[in-house]
Amino acid sequence: MSRGPFENIAETVQEPVNLSRRGFMRASSGAAAGAFILGFGLPTRRARADDTKSPKFRGTQVPAFLEIRPDNTVLLQSPFIEGGQGTFTAMAQIVGEELDADPETFIVENAPAGDEYTVMDSGMRITGGSMSVRDGYAPMRRLGALARAMLLQAGAQQMGVSVTELTTQPGYVVHTGSGRTVRYGDLAHVAMDLPIPDPAIVTLKDPSQFRWIGQPVQRLDIYEKSTGKAEYTIDMRVEGMLHAAVQHAPRLGMTIASIRNEEQVLNMRGIHSVHHLPGAVAVVAERWWHAKQGAEALLVNWAEATLGTAETMRVMPSDFSSESYKTHLATASGKIDDAETKGDTEQALQKAHTVLEATYSSQYVNHAQLEPPSALARYNADGTLDIWLPNQAPDMFRADMAKRTGLDVEKITIHSPLLGGFFGRHFLYDQANPYPQAILLAKATGRPIKLIWSREEEFLRDALRPLAVVKFRGGLDTNGYPVALEAISATEGPTEGLGPKRGKDLDPSALEGLTGKAYDIPNRRISQRYIQSPTALGYWRSVGNSMNDFLYETFLDELADKGGKDPYELRRHLLRGNKRLTTLLQAVVDLSGGWKRGPFTAADGSRRARGIGMASPFGSEAAAIAEVSIEQGQVRVHEIWEALDPGSIVNPAIVEAQINGAVALGLSQVLLEEAVYENGMPRARNYDGYPILTLDHMPRVHVKIVESGEKMGGVGEPPLPAIPPAVANAVSTLVGRRIRSMPLSRHNFQS
């Protein structure tokens, strides 16, 4: 099974003044209070933990992950980053299940960089690709079981009985014969000196005994977020820090030629200094607002990229427009690389009774997350570097910083606060990240620097989801059923887009959603015509599936119409023999009250239609139905029904919340979102030029979770890709013509 778009990425002294509630609890009830704990700290314990480290049993270093305190609370260092998706709660449920500790007693933090926190079989540490729970499930269960075994052994020593006479209840070791109990917190000082049991023989619970896994446990981060106590990078402060703001070059590849008013800006209120950076100029001040005013006041003469720049970075031409680039992709010729083939597609198309050709396209989209990009960097007197930044892969970021600074990785400490949303924004995108600038400014000033990009700078330097133009050919037999399908995508994938040139292998993230379809079409060919984009590219929620499932599933509906088939019945036919997907498809139809394509008149008198879409992203299966109408020439989505089969789940409440969030983002991109470039620059520099879905246009969402028992898949991203095609297919049915591009706001459906 594919692990998603990140398979190839691996190639590529003073604490904050304002302590969080978690930090205060840790300091006041843990080692700082002189208490014994099972947890972090002593080198002997870390060395003992390293003895258990092996690729076969990752995540077994109990002292690195867990701290059990005298008050029976449990501090867990999560190997996966929390950014609103509920990972902290899920990790607490999984570990707590085997540890026999109520998840409500957990305090969870993002673990620091370090090999001991790598639990994925791939050897990487990434929060993305909907991998956290499915890749963390087995090692986190084992971690909890190991800690429980150590506590049982400690309980046996303290009570003077055999360990076979003991069991546990949440937070307690219990002697079954006498009923005597000892709190975990009172045993930690003994347990911490015990050897970690052999992970190969530790016993895990039978799922029938689960207390918390599979239950809607309340999110652990809700209180701090709802009361404003949650802290993000933008909230971090250290003593003596300065603030910085930047003005980027209007186009990638440009450099500073001169600044016409640098002296005047230096004399502005609160300004500390002005700094020339690669592709940007920074203003440092005692307050960020003063830094921002200074950066905006700078009158910079920008020079075009010099010869050879494109060999090391993206260069944006002054005449580039996204509209003309789309035309270029549609008319381009050249080498085509096959990603997936079956049968003889060309011969099948030649022999087909009917052949349908169509060209579809997707659009560039921004991440547009609410958290502004920021980073806080501090060089210390001992030559070490501390940096606070939102990130999805702390070890990868630390390795990159080591290359940039020349420091050993051991001298760099990455602090990973909560993320204000993921969406694929917080990866190594080079010029789309503020931390390289923060590091340069901290070194230049000799002071800690907190750099915040304004919204305008974020929109200028965001790494976009790729744009693609796909040429389809489909062949139908005499009965109207597909016998051949060819899809040739002219695009560049986001993993390819991380570097200035293409890698040696095809980027699976460029074509996922076109590839991997389960429909029984005997002859098919999915290929890529690689064309490099001058824009910076990045991952976006559900990555290639977010656009490619729209392209494939809408063309499949077009084939259904051409062959005189109902699109729902055609899918049932093409999935015959696939019990899992047939069950899922039936589940979403039942959820919607039965398939009703339309057009039909709703109770409110509006004319409506329904569309269907399916997707198989990140190890899960999704099916969605959308009901739409047209209001004043634009699409209105009234209802979304979605069924998701992730195999098995940990927290149904979080799964339902993730589905709702994915539906909202999927609707936003199919209806509204588009990053438009003109003259080499983005038209939108803030939300006033980049519309997103608003609450008053959010439809009712109905969710069905189907647990097939198959291998656990992802949850955060899989619900999104089925939404755009379901909406577009409904609109096509309603207006009587095929819709072949996003966003739908570009089309006028006024009758």
Q: How confident is the model at residue 497 (pLDDT cuts 50, 70, 90)?
A: confident
Q: Looking at residues 343-371, what average pLDDT do you find? A: 96
Partners of 173 in beta bridges: 168, 182
Confidence at residue 192, expressed as pLDDT on a 0 to 100 scale: 83
Q: How confident is the model at residue 310 (pLDDT cuts 50, 70, 90)?
A: confident
Contact between 744 and 671 (Cβ < 8 Å): yes
Cα–Cα dist 373/426, whole Å:
9
Higher pLDDT, 751 or 572: 572
Confidence at residue 410, expressed as pLDDT on a 0 to 100 scale: 95
Indicate the DSSP class of residue 504: S
Higher pLDDT, 4 or 463: 463
Q: What is the pLDDT of residues 191-231, one digit of tens each?
A: 988 998 988 889 999 999 999 999 999 999 999 999 999 99
Higher pLDDT, 748 or 260: 260
Q: Looking at residues 411-433, what average pLDDT do you find? A: 91
Q: Is the pLDDT of residue 40 over 70?
A: no
Q: What is the pLDDT of residues 633-653, one digit of tens each?
A: 999 999 999 999 999 999 999
Lowest mean pLDDT among 34-38, 85-89, 249-253: 34-38
Partners of 201 in beta bridges: none
Which residues lie below 8 Å from residue 11, measured CB to CB, with a gap of 6+? none
Q: Is the pLDDT of residue 1 over 70?
A: no
Helix/strand/coil for 41: coil
Q: Looking at residues 151-160, what average pLDDT do you find? A: 95
Confidence at residue 57, expressed as pLDDT on a 0 to 100 scale: 79
Q: Is the pLDDT of residue 750 over 90?
A: no
- Phi and psi (nearest 5°) for 281? -125, 140
Q: Measure the CA dihedral 90/669/494/518, to 10°.
A: 70
Q: What is the pLDDT of residues 572-606, one digit of tens each?
A: 999 999 999 999 999 999 999 999 999 999 999 99
Higher pLDDT, 693 or 40: 693
Q: What is the pLDDT of residues 42-58, one digit of tens each?
A: 233 333 334 444 456 77
Q: Looking at residues 266-290, what average pLDDT do you find? A: 97
Task: Return the H-helix or E-strand segment holding 93.
Answer: helix 87-99
Q: Is the pLDDT of residue 749 over 60?
A: yes
- Burial label, 43 (beta-carbon count in 10 A; 0-12, 13-18, 19+): exposed
Q: What is the pLDDT of residues 80-122, one digit of tens each?
A: 999 989 999 999 999 999 999 999 999 999 999 999 999 998 8
CA neighbor of 719 nearest in space, from 655, 649, 650: 655
Which residues lie below 8 Å from residue 618, measured CB to CB, with a gap of 6+? 4, 129, 130, 131, 542, 545, 713, 714, 717, 718
Confidence at residue 53, expressed as pLDDT on a 0 to 100 scale: 45
Query: E strands along 430-481, which residues?
Result: 449-452, 469-476
The reply to whether the predicted model has a pTM over 0.85 is yes
Confidence at residue 61, expressed as pLDDT on a 0 to 100 scale: 82
Tell me the torsion sign for CA atoms 140, 141, 145, 146: negative
Domains of the chain by range and CATH? 7-226 (3.30.365.10), 233-307+373-452 (3.30.365.10), 324-364+465-746 (3.30.365.10)
Q: What is the pLDDT of residues 436-477, one digit of tens each?
A: 999 999 999 999 999 999 999 999 999 999 999 999 999 999
Confidence at residue 294, expressed as pLDDT on a 0 to 100 scale: 98
Confidence at residue 56, expressed as pLDDT on a 0 to 100 scale: 66
Mean pLDDT (the chain) is 91
Q: Looking at residues 345-362, what average pLDDT do you find? A: 98
